[in-house]
Amino acid sequence: MEMLAKMNKAEMEAKLANGAYVLFFTADWCPDCRFIKPAMPEIEAEFKEFTFIQVDRDENLDLCQELMVMGIPSFIVYRDGKEVARFVNKDRKTKAEVTAFLSAAK
């Protein structure tokens, strides 16, 4: 999974201008993020139509604020530079919950 470099919302939307992406917001210190991380390779394999990009919340704090991502782990789906779905809250997320979210976002 690619790691997003530090950037603002406009730069990120330009990067995501073509294609379907899932942004995975996380941080090393976050126990709920560590809970879902082992399932991410399987989730990526199941949803090959998306390019998954990991966003380090601490590295991209300004971007998270611009996107109103206050809780992690969180997921936002982008298509051709525009947000189309979000699963953003501070709750622990299971593989089944993330899979259901991405299925609905296809």
Query: Which of 12, 33, 40, 88 does the annotation list as catalytic?
Result: 33
Query: Which of 22, 23, 30, 88 does the annotation list as catalytic?
Result: 30
Q: How many residues are given for the chain? A: 106
74-99 burial, b if ≥16 CB within 10 A, otherwise e?
A: bbbbbeeeeeebbbbeeeebeeeebe
Indicate if 64 belongs to the active site: no
Reduced 3-state DSSP string for 29-94: CCHHHHHHHHHHHHHHHHCCCCEEEEEECCCCHHHHHHCCCCCCCEEEEEECCEEEEEECCCCCCC
Indicate if 30 belongs to the active site: yes
Q: Which residues are catalytic?
A: 30, 33
